[in-house]
Structure formats: C-alpha cells, structure tokens
Amino acid sequence: MTVTSGSLRSRTDLCAAIENELSGLIGKRAASATAYGAHFTRLWELAGHNVLGGKFVRPLLLMETYDALRTRPQQKNPAATDQPRTSPPNTDNRETAISIAAAIELLHYSFLLHDDVIDGDLVRRGHPNLIGSLLAEAQSLPRTTNAEGAREGSDLHWAQTGGILMGDMLLAATHQAFARADLPHALRLRLLDLLEHTINETVAGEQLDVGLGDGIIDPHLETILMMCGYKTATYTFELPLRAAAALAGADFAVENALASAGRHLGLAFQLQDDLLSTFGDPRRHGKDPFSDLREGKETAIIAHARTTAAWPDIEPFFGRPELNGAECEYVRRHLADCGAEDFVNGLIEEQMQAFNDLLTSTIPDGVCSVLLDLAGQLEGRQS
Amino acid sequence: MTVTSGSLRSRTDLCAAIENELSGLIGKRAASATAYGAHFTRLWELAGHNVLGGKFVRPLLLMETYDALRTRPQQKNPAATDQPRTSPPNTDNRETAISIAAAIELLHYSFLLHDDVIDGDLVRRGHPNLIGSLLAEAQSLPRTTNAEGAREGSDLHWAQTGGILMGDMLLAATHQAFARADLPHALRLRLLDLLEHTINETVAGEQLDVGLGDGIIDPHLETILMMCGYKTATYTFELPLRAAAALAGADFAVENALASAGRHLGLAFQLQDDLLSTFGDPRRHGKDPFSDLREGKETAIIAHARTTAAWPDIEPFFGRPELNGAECEYVRRHLADCGAEDFVNGLIEEQMQAFNDLLTSTIPDGVCSVLLDLAGQLEGRQS
C-alpha cells in the first residue's frame, strides 16, 4: 500500500484540524480550571500535553472515512461519477465530524487513564503518564505535616486520585461534545446511542481483562478473544467508522459492513500487539520486553500454550515479576516451540481474511483505501 | 416547620415517580448488560439496589422546587393569583424534570462510588457498598489459579475496579439523560452547562479533600470551607435548584438567588455533618463514632483547634487509626474545651443567617417553603 503525496498532505491538514479542535476543547477547560487553584489546573495541563502528543489514530480514521464517503466515487465506477455515492448532497457535517473525532480522542485518553489507575501503571510508552507526573511532582514538594514513612503512600494516593478524577472529567467532556453536536436531533441521538454502546462494551472488556488477571474469570481462549474485541477494537475501530458513516449519511448496510471490518481489523491489531510484546524486538516496537510474561497477562498466546504439553514447563515462570532475562528467553522459546506463536499468527490471518472479504462488496472504494492503508500499518508492524 | 398531609402525600407520589424513572434507567441498562456476562450484569444489579434504596434528597429538591415554581402564588400575594409567577403558562417540562432529577441521583451515586474507591471504603451507612459486596462475592468464589497469599490483594483489586467502572457508567448514564432531554435545544444546552460546571466543581472539591488528607495542600480554614462547598453543596443543592429554575422557566434572578441559598444551606449541612461525626451521639445519627478523628480528616473543627493553645495536646492523637475509645473521648473533650465546637456552630449560624436573608426577597413563597422544610431537616439533626 503506497501513500500518495496528495493523501500525505491531506493527512497533515487533518491532523492540524484535529489538533486545533482538541486544543480548543482542552484549552477552554484548562482556563476555567484556574478558578479552582493550581492543582486542579495542573490536571488539565498534563492531560492536554498527553492528549495533544498522541497520534490521533481514531480521529484520523473517522475523518478519512468521512471524507472518503463524501467524495465522488473513483473512475473505476464511471456510471456514478456525477453523484456522491452514499450521502445526500446538501448535508455537510464535516465541522461536526471534526468535533466528534476530537471527542473520541478524549474518550480514548479517559479509558487509558482509568486503565493506568487499575493497572497501577506510572509509565506509558517510556514516559511518565499523568499519574507518574503527579507522583514526581508530589515527591518534590516540601512538606512537614506527614511523617516520611507515610509520605510515599500518600503521594501515590494523591497521584492515582488525579488519574481517576481526570478520567472522569475527560469522560464528561466526551459526552458534552456529543451532546452539543450541531446536528439534527435524530442524528445526534444516533451518535449518543453509539457512544453508549461503545462505553458499555469497553467497560465490559476492561472488567473481563481485570477478572482474567485477578483469577476471577477462567482464561479460556474464547473469553480472551471477546475481551480483546470489547476492550479496544470497539472504541478504536467500530466507533470512528460507525460515527463517520452516520455523519456522512451512509446507508446502514455500509455502516454495518464498516463496523464488521473494523472489528476484524481491531482484533488483528490486538493479537499482533500481544505477539510483539512476547516475541518482538523491543528496540523496534518500543514496548517493554517481557512485561506481559512478568505480569501474567492472559493472552491468546498463553491460552493456546495452556492446551499443550509444554505448559507445565512454562507455568512456573508465568506471572512472576522477578523473572530475569534468561528466564524470559526460556519461556519465549517454549511458547514458540509449543506452537502458540504460529497459532496466534493463524488467528490474525483469519481476521485479516474476514476483513478483506468485506472490502469486496458493500464498502465504497475510497473507504476501502482508507481501511487498507490502516491494515498496511499492521503489516508494517509485523516485519 | 410542619409538613401538611397534602405535602406528605405529594412527596410520596414524587418518590414513586422518581423511583419509577430510576428503575427504568437502570433496568434498561441491566438488561443490555446481560449480553456481556454475569460479572458485568452484577455491577448493574448492585448499583440498582443501592441507588433505589436511597432517600432521593436531590431529586426531591429538584421536583419540589420545580412544582413550587410552576404553582400559582399563595394567597398572601393576591395581586398575582391569575398568573403563574415565574414561568410562561404554555411550557410544561415536568416529565423531563423527573428524568433530570433521576439523572442527578445517578450522578450522586457515581461520585459516591469513586469517592469510596479513593478512600478505600467498603461500607456506607453500616452496609457493604458496591465494592464491599463485590469483594465478599469474590472471596466466596472457588478458585485454583491464584495462590492463597496473592488472592486477598487480587480480590480487593477486582472489587475496586468494579467501583471505578460502575462510577464511569453512571457518569455516562447521567450525561445521556441530560443529552436526550426532551427540551428546546437552548434549554438542553443550559442544563448541559450546569452539569459541566457541577462536575468541575465537585471534582475540584474532591481533589482538595484528598490533597488535604494526603498532606499535599495546607489545611487552612478557608481551603476547608471551599472544599466543603465544592465537593458536596454544588451537586446536592445548587444543581437541583438551578435545574428546577431553568426547567420551570424562572427568571435568572430567581435562579441565582436559589443557587446562593442552596450554597449556604449546603455548607451548613456539611459543617453539621462534621460536628455530628465528632460530637454527636452515634446511636442517633448512625455514623461511625470518631472515624473522622482516626482518619485525620481535615475539618473546620480541626482547622480552628490548630489555632488554639490546645492543639499540642490534640495533635499526637489526630489521624491515628489505632485510637481507643478513651483516647477519642479525650480528644473530643479537648476539641470542645478549646472552642472548636462553638466556633463551627457559629459558622453554621452565619450560613443559616445568610440563607434566611435570601428567602425574604427574590425567591417565591412556595419555593421558600420547600427550602425551609429542607433547612428544618438540618435543625432536626442538631437536636
């Protein structure tokens, strides 16, 4: 999949428009926050820094899909060149689409924050997350009221509270953007339905993930695949695609085909992530090497390994935070040898086959290009 | 303040209408939750049980204020008997008011849940809260995957995760109800503004409270009073009163007077709560005796005591979880003797004076009765 200079340019423009919208949403709130003092304002500053430093995967998917649905069909389907393919010509929701796209990025960051609180994480992609930043700042404050012994616990408590509260405010901000969307009421209600469905599914996925990690829910492969779809694929792929279709006035058949394609692609990405975390080269993908093994994360890789004769050799090392490099290498070799790596690669191929099958029929050509471009990023990560 | 049998009957009707609306909001979501399995459904069941067992203080305040604003003025102002006092005769938003009132109860419960996660609480008013119930249920599950030693920690982690996630879903449900309110768009936007302001202020108050407890923020009296107002008074009093005024079409002057009255009343209630926790009879008010002292809660009582010569005698016992009954009695006596009890009673009187001053002018008579009835509950708790 090659990206033309034209689409590169338009992606740069889109990124600028999304960034501008996010700056507005966050800047307005950071300004009101000053009335409540420095600590409250700091939450918005840190959140703004982290949100605006993102890659805008979800907003870009929404906007590129929206633009593709609103553009005249390409030459290979000449019979329809005079008409936009799927939407009535007199409704242009592009400005609103930008604000919904930005709101979805806020939702993403809200989920990340509460996930970080739940997982006790202080770092994301090698940098302190909001909680880590608040912790470092609390530790540098001069204080006389707390005994030094209790201070470490209260600094972390303060920082994690900041994560919960900022996640709440971003969830609220997401809903405010959807609720205020400048659209006919019925279409706004349709987007609110989508948001509600997405949050339910993401929360259900998060609960499954935590239940698997805490030993409350049994780690069957089927449960793990369901968790991957719910926790990430729904809000990362299905929500932007369905929102784009609704805003562009696409047929419901197109919207449903997009949602299915998005779910397959999302599951493939998640499985690929698990493979990279376990078998990938950390210098290339930037993830913490072996963190999944040390944390005892219940992935499809582990679910398959449990069904093989190699599991008794792996189990004693699984979920042990103190594993050294040699032990991790040992587990990794066993996971490859028992067929778990091949098995998950097979699952990814199945998902990509189902994804490709959907591109041949209902989905307009321009949107297929957007999706194939995204799928190309998956292939890039495999190499 | 006596309550007539008429207003008793109408309060029973109102409670039934609010309960019916809440049952609908929660029941719909509990039904969709079944698609995601038993653990996810359980969150909604527990939340429903707790929400529907509440006293509906906030929804009742909204509805009684709404009804009072929409009712013809009483006889003592005969010149205006032919016209509703503050709202145009052709807009009746009573059904929508019920749904906003119910949504505010969901917001209250969302705040309580995240507050319980932040404070590590498992009990509320003598019963297990949602987190305590999830913990007990996790502990009773037969499990083989986790070592017994790690199990205690993961059961609590699972339960607290449930608290975070259910708080998120209730915050989302609150916004959905506001966003879908069957109102002219401008009025819906006005309610969304109110909701946004309320959440900002409540979150700022929660952050102040935690910062005071964790020794990040200095415990000045002014900061503590600000925290009390933000954390509780805004969403408990100002939000229902302003929402009622907006829905009833009241003048902005009336809405502002109501909001001020609500803030004074809310602060008086909060200070009264602190007094009851420290000086009240636990058999009568039902609160844990001395929990504030043991937790080291920074209240106005403590802020005053810090400024007196008695503080060096109190400080060694303050914030010590292991305090025995005799030590607590000792601290309590010192707090009374140093004038902290009288000081806070004086603050409450100031707030009630400011509240009463507002009732004489802009606020219609019927609404004054609603507010005086509420204030009477405060006086009842003092005796």
Query: What's the pLDDT band for A291 if we cut at 50, 70, 90?
Result: confident
Q: Is the pLDDT of residue B383 over 50?
A: no
- Identify any residues that bridge with B128 across adjacent strands, giving them in sequence order: B123
Top residue of A44, A185, A216 to mutate, by most chain B CBs within 10 Å, is A216
Is A124 in a helix, a strand, or coil? strand
Is A127 in a helix, a strand, or coil? strand
Q: What angle do CA A170, A174, A179 make, to 5 degrees?
A: 145
What is the C-alpha end-to-end distance of chain B, expressed in Å? Answer: 15
Nearest residue, CB atoms, B157 vs list A40, A138, A214: A214
Q: Which residue has the tokens 């703004």?
A: A48
B320 exposure class (CB count in 10 Å sphere: 0-12, 13-18, 19+): middle
Distance from B211 to chain A by nearest Cα, in Å?
7
Q: What pLDDT, on the 0 to 100 scale, is given for residue A133?
A: 97
Top residue of B28, B40, B188, B217 to mutate, by most chain A CBs within 10 Å, is B40
| pLDDT tens-digit map of B217-253 | 999 999 999 999 999 999 999 999 999 999 999 999 9
Tokens of B236: 């408990």
| A195-207: average pLDDT | 98
Task: Count how many pairs of residues, chain A against chain B, have C-beta atoms within 8 Å.
Answer: 162
| B271-279: average pLDDT | 90
Distance from B272 to chain A by nearest Cα, in Å?
24
Q: Which residue has the tokens 């995967």?
A: A57
| B342-362: average pLDDT | 94
Q: Chain B contacts of A161, Cβ < 8 Å?
A: 118, 206-207, 210
Query: What's the pLDDT band for B152 if we cut at 50, 70, 90?
Result: confident
Mean pLDDT: which of B11-15, B144-148, B319-323 is highest?
B11-15
Query: What's the pLDDT band for A76 if we cut at 50, 70, 90?
Result: very low
**Between these two residues, A109 and B292, which has the higher pLDDT value?**
A109
Query: What's the pLDDT band for A290 if we cut at 50, 70, 90?
Result: confident
Question: Among residues of chain B, what percentage have pLDDT more than 90?
Answer: 75
* C-alpha neighbours within 13 Å on the C-beta side of residue A49: 11
| A198-218: average pLDDT | 96
Q: What angle do CA A64, A382, A367 make, to 5 degrees?
A: 20
Q: Is the pLDDT of residue A46 over 80?
A: yes
Distance from B8 to chain A by nearest Cα, in Å?
36
**B81 contacts B73 by C-beta, under 8 angstroms:** yes
**pLDDT averaged over every residue in chain A:** 89
Q: What angle do CA A29, A33, A38 make, to 5 degrees?
A: 140
Q: Chain B contacts of A200, Cβ < 8 Å?
A: 29, 32-33, 36, 169
| Other Cβ atoms closer than 10 A to B352 | 18
Query: How high is the ipTM of this complex?
Result: 0.92
Distance from B315 to chain A by nearest Cα, in Å?
11
| pLDDT tens-digit map of B42-77 | 999 999 999 999 999 999 999 999 999 998 664 444
Architecture of the domain defined by A201-383? Orthogonal Bundle (1.10)
Beta carbons of A33 and B200 less than 8 Å apart: yes
Query: What's the pLDDT band for A284 if we cut at 50, 70, 90?
Result: low
Q: Is the pLDDT of residue B144 over 80?
A: no
Distance separating alpha carbons of residues A31 and A24, to the nearest angstrom: 10
Question: Among residues of chain B, what percentage have pLDDT more than 70?
Answer: 87
Nearest residue, CB atoms, B32 vs list A32, A200, A207: A200
| pLDDT tens-digit map of A100-122 | 999 999 999 999 999 999 999 99
Nearest residue, CB atoms, B216 vs list A141, A167, A217: A141
Q: What pLDDT, on the 0 to 100 scale, is given for residue B87?
A: 45
CA dihedral B57, B62, B66, B67 (to 10 degrees): -20
Distance from B286 to chain A by nearest Cα, in Å?
28
| pLDDT tens-digit map of B161-216 | 999 999 999 999 999 999 999 999 999 999 999 999 999 999 999 999 999 999 99
Of A310, A304, A346, the C-alpha closest to A330 is A310
Q: What pLDDT, on the 0 to 100 scale, is given for residue A72?
A: 62
| B271-299: average pLDDT | 81
Q: Is the pLDDT of residue A86 over 80?
A: no
Query: What's the pLDDT band for B96 if we cut at 50, 70, 90?
Result: very high
* C-alpha neighbours within 13 Å on the C-beta side of residue A194: 30
Beta carbons of B199 and A158 less than 8 Å apart: no
Beta carbons of A114 and B164 less than 8 Å apart: yes
Distance separating alpha carbons of residues A233 and A311, to the nearest angstrom: 29
Q: What pLDDT, on the 0 to 100 scale, is given for residue B325?
A: 86
Q: Which residue of A has its CA nearest to B219?
A: A145
Distance from B165 to chain A by nearest Cα, in Å?
6
Which DSSP state fits B127? E
| A375-379: average pLDDT | 82
| Other Cβ atoms closer than 10 A to A38 | 10
Query: What's the pLDDT band for B282 if we cut at 50, 70, 90?
Result: low
| B138-159: average pLDDT | 79
Q: What pLDDT, on the 0 to 100 scale, is given for residue B292?
A: 85
Nearest residue, CB atoms, A158 vs list B40, B158, B216: B216
Distance from B101 to chain A by nearest Cα, in Å?
18
φ/ψ of A305, rounded to 5, equals -60, -35
Q: Is the pLDDT of residue B85 over 60?
A: no
Q: What pLDDT, on the 0 to 100 scale, is given for residue A335?
A: 94
Beta carbons of B158 and A216 less than 8 Å apart: yes
Beta carbons of A211 and B169 less than 8 Å apart: no
Distance separating alpha carbons of residues A266 and A202, to the nearest angstrom: 13
Distance separating alpha carbons of residues B257 and B260, to the nearest angstrom: 5
Query: What's the pLDDT band for A180 if we cut at 50, 70, 90?
Result: very high
Is B124 in a helix, a strand, or coil? strand
Q: Is the pLDDT of residue B113 over 90?
A: yes
Q: Chain A contacts of B175, Cβ < 8 Å?
A: 172, 175-176, 179
| Other Cβ atoms closer than 10 A to B91 | 13
Distance separating alpha carbons of residues B131 and B109, to the nearest angstrom: 13
Q: Is the pLDDT of residue A256 over 80?
A: yes
**pLDDT averaged over every residue in chain B:** 89
Q: Is the pLDDT of residue B319 over 80?
A: yes
Query: What's the pLDDT band for A71 if we cut at 50, 70, 90?
Result: confident
Top residue of B96, B188, B196 to mutate, by most chain A CBs within 10 Å, is B196
Domain boundaries, chain A: 1-54+94-182, 201-383
User: What residues contact residue B152 under an 8 Å CB cut-off, 6+ apart?
Assistant: none
Beta carbons of A179 and B188 less than 8 Å apart: yes
Q: What pLDDT, on the 0 to 100 scale, is given for residue B80?
A: 45
Rg (CA), chain B: 22
**A33 contacts A43 by C-beta, under 8 angstroms:** yes
- Domain B187-383 in CATH 3.40.50.720? The answer is no
Beta carbons of B162 and A214 less than 8 Å apart: no
Beta carbons of B199 and A172 less than 8 Å apart: yes
| pLDDT tens-digit map of A125-165 | 889 999 999 999 999 988 755 455 567 789 999 999 999 99
Q: Which helix (H) or strand (E) holds B128?
A: strand B127-128
Flag the least confident range among A96-110, A290-304, B269-283. Answer: B269-283
Q: Is the pLDDT of residue A382 over 80?
A: no
Q: Chain B contacts of A216, Cβ < 8 Å?
A: 39, 138, 141, 143, 154-155, 158
Q: Which residue of B has its CA nearest to A116?
A: B161
Flag the least confident range among A70-84, A94-108, A362-376, B281-295. Answer: A70-84
What is the C-alpha end-to-end distance of chain A, expressed in Å? Answer: 14
| Other Cβ atoms closer than 10 A to A189 | 14
